[in-house]
Chain A
């Protein structure tokens, strides 16, 4: 088969609303709260959270998608905030580490990380925890091999990996197995 021309369509011309490049008002829904800010479209979700909203729990380890420290949930899926533009998250539900605990009560995964010493310096930890909770929702924590593979998007230079797996196992088992925790 060779490349072929097919049905002719008539595209609408450039009718899209252009925002920026100067600062524009961006509204985000973060951890159940509506937040507004005036930012340039180039601002990443990560910098918007950390620098504009003082939600500094989400970390910046590489700014290139190579470490996972910036893991947050957008519409309940784990993604990397450093490669996401804040403006593209309007109308989406953003959850960060600050939105995980229920008031003073830690989320079971936070509790497990603490008890099993699943971190040392703690810098990768918010990303690990956001990833770990999502992992259980995704149903990829069946056994250790699966946990290893599906947690490999979060580097831990302190190399707390075996303890991170232990924490995930504990929450998985407490909550009645894979896919049950959320």
Chain B
């Protein structure tokens, strides 16, 4: 009895989007609006020795030029904490423009406000800055010998190292050892909408920020701490967000800078980052190297895994994307050692990027697994099957649900895996070498740590509005929530409206780590169930109701009506009940208390990826011909939208595998390709048709609606499947991403 869930309802905000009517944050209509432009540091380390703003101040239309000398001071700089925690969530433990020091290239050093964007932009170029430069570290290899093992990473959420069993001994005893080192270029999210914030002060303690963010509440709490204002003074609105992929998960400097600028000029200010600024203003996936050693028996059964990661972090934070998490538990494996090594560099603190950690960590593991398969002479799929773990190897706890075996099987069927000739270079079509590869996909489900709330109100015409402070950045969460609410209330989806995207609404943790839909979904579910139960209780208590005296447990809702389960002809509509009792509406504020992370289960999402590539035998060009991904994300709320996200994730894997690299010029300490013409993301012609399937798993451990999220898992393993396919096509192993053609010449 859940007609809406699972169905392929079109996006509820889709009509506005295809008509160009949705307003993204740089598009809100505000009277008396002014425009800000940020000026960024051209050096990566040192200090500003002189800054001359006089010409900029005199330029036409300029209202203010702010530098460290006159920019408002922040009250405190909160510590980095992932927005999943639901507290203030700055992207780094540093706030710029408070003094003359420079810690990374692109650090904001001035903000110009003018009456038009053209004038602000031009005035920004009239500022003269002199720097005193000190040596900078911007590449891992520059300072590798200074690497350290951090106590904790990821904003303190994860330990810097982990182990079980005795790896050294197990590796020494292993019949087969595969050892490999993988290098990853830095990557940038590059959502098509650059981040933008518009700040409007209605009074000294009433600020509204229109911000492109994954979490309006996180922005509210972070800006409040920075400005030294209580959260009640700040309202954050985020109706439509043009993609994020992690770049808008943490709270970076722009909403606070624009708030300070707006306070300074006494008028509303809009700040839209440029594409170039998107490369230095909201984190990135860090440059990294991973060293992996797998020990196994001759039949391929794994006995040990050693996995070390070296990466560059900022001067402020011990950040590493958690690349070792899923690889540690992907297979039965009694002996494990995982260590993060960090090198401090002159960079903004790196951040989440779609499938943070797993996109790189599972690449390393799954490429090494492919080597192992070759070494022991076992089909890669069979090798994985032999090593599937029915419990979480790190704790011995059962999985809340898995479905991994079914994913392998279904993917193999859809792909036609079993006809594969394992011999590399065995297929050629003209100039093209053809190869196929596979990989496992795992992604941990991280529970929010705080209660998640939602509000639901049913009106006496039988329509309902459901609210929670989550924003819509393409995941389809507004649509999925409409379905969750419609199902629980027994209403057709068109009678339910979901409202989100504002910090005024009940608090919801930022939608990160695929946890968005599950957190808000659980809160909405709990809330609308409570609303439904209240309505049923009212009906059975009302003498005039046909349901009077019935056992509430035996009342069902469907088509806007409460009816007896065994006598569907007995009942009444919500509207009748409320009209009769002269009640305009009924409202409930509900709370979902997430279970603790270690509730006696391992909670992961699983999947299988397969890819077919062609490699130009002489020119090294790699093209992906087809991809198959099968995933077990618990329950699927909306097949159409879920499959879209999974497909997008898989094509992200394609970009990671073949195209995406931000290139640092260490002499300048700055990125050398910060544009969409130079940082290559896949275009339509790169994207093959993608076959996506889902294996639904019942899971009542993870949350009341049984979903694990589809935002990240599609990425995981996709790049490895491609790299493994490149090996199958060419006989060459790829140890560095992206796989550009010079590596295959």
| Complex contact flag A–B (Cβ < 8 Å) | yes
Contact B274 A162 (CB under 8 A): no
- Looking at A61, A69, A101, A110, which has the most chain B CB atoms within 10 Å of its CB? A61
Cα A43 to Cα B675 in complex, Å, equals 21
Chain B, residues 105-147, CB within 8 Å of chain A (1/0): the string is: 0000000000011100000000000000000000000000000
| Interface 9-mer from B189-197, B256-264, B461-469 | B189-197
- Least distance between A160 CB and chain B CB atoms (Å): 7
Cα A96 to Cα B21 in complex, Å, equals 12
Contact B29 A54 (CB under 8 A): yes
Q: Which of A83-109 contact B (CB under 8 A)?
A: 96-98, 100-101, 106
Contact A121 B18 (CB under 8 A): no
| Interface 9-mer from B158-166, B240-248, B405-413, B504-512 | B240-248
Give chain A residues whose Cβ lies under 8 Å from the Cβ of B578.
Answer: none
Partner of B676, one of A57, A67, A111: A67
Partner of A62, one of B23, B26, B473, B675: B675
Contact B10 A115 (CB under 8 A): yes
CB-CB under 8 A for A157 and B191, given A57-B21, A62-B675, A123-B242: yes
B416 at the interface (CB under 8 A from A): no
Contact A162 B689 (CB under 8 A): yes
| Interface 9-mer from A11-19, A145-153, A172-180 | A145-153
Tally of B interface residues using CB under 8 Å: 59
- Least distance between A74 CB and chain B CB atoms (Å): 17
A24 at the interface (CB under 8 A from B): no
- Looking at A58, A121, A151, A152, which has the most chain B CB atoms within 10 Å of its CB? A121
Closest to B682 in A: A159
Contact B652 A159 (CB under 8 A): yes
Closest to A130 in B: B20
A155 at the interface (CB under 8 A from B): yes
Contact A154 B242 (CB under 8 A): no
Q: Which of B215-251 contact A (CB under 8 A)?
A: 240-245
Chain B, residues 583-601, CB within 8 Å of chain A (1/0): the string is: 0000000000000000000
Cα A60 to Cα B270 in complex, Å, equals 15
Partner of A156, one of B18, B20, B192, B194: B192
- Least distance between B511 CB and chain A CB atoms (Å): 13
Give chain B residues whose Cβ lies under 8 Å from the Cβ of A147.
Answer: 684
CB-CB under 8 A for A122 and B474, given A64-B676, A157-B245: yes
- Least distance between B621 CB and chain A CB atoms (Å): 15
A40 at the interface (CB under 8 A from B): yes
B681 at the interface (CB under 8 A from A): yes
Closest to A161 in B: B687
Cα A51 to Cα B33 in complex, Å, equals 10
Contact A98 B648 (CB under 8 A): no
Partner of A64, one of B275, B640, B681: B275
- Looking at B15, B24, B687, which has the most chain A CB atoms within 10 Å of its CB? B687
Tally of A interface residues using CB under 8 Å: 61
- Least distance between B193 CB and chain A CB atoms (Å): 4
Contact B644 A123 (CB under 8 A): no
B554 at the interface (CB under 8 A from A): no
Give chain A residues whose Cβ lies under 8 Å from the Cβ of B22.
Answer: 122
B641 at the interface (CB under 8 A from A): yes
Cα A159 to Cα B627 in complex, Å, equals 14
B74 at the interface (CB under 8 A from A): no
CB-CB under 8 A for A160 and B648, given A57-B19, A67-B676, A148-B685: yes
Partner of A56, one of B10, B20, B476, B652: B20
Contact B645 A59 (CB under 8 A): no
Give chain B residues whose Cβ lies under 8 Å from the Cβ of A153.
Answer: 683
Give chain B residues whose Cβ lies under 8 Å from the Cβ of A157.
Answer: 189-192, 243, 245, 681
B13 at the interface (CB under 8 A from A): yes
Q: Which of A39-68 contact B (CB under 8 A)?
A: 40, 42-43, 47, 50-51, 54-67
Q: Which of B514-565 contact A (CB under 8 A)?
A: none
B272 at the interface (CB under 8 A from A): yes
- Least distance between A164 CB and chain B CB atoms (Å): 7
Task: Contacts A60-B194, A122-B474, A164-B684 known; list 5 others, CB within 8 Å.
Answer: A63-B274, A66-B675, A122-B17, A123-B192, A157-B681
16 interchain pairs, CB-CB under 8 A: A50-B27, A51-B117, A56-B24, A57-B21, A61-B192, A61-B193, A66-B676, A97-B20, A101-B19, A117-B14, A121-B474, A123-B242, A124-B192, A125-B20, A159-B682, A161-B651
> Which chain A residues have a beta carbon within 8 Å of chain B's beta carbons?
40, 42-43, 47, 50-51, 54-67, 69, 96-98, 100-101, 106, 110-111, 113-115, 117, 119-126, 129, 144, 147-149, 151-165
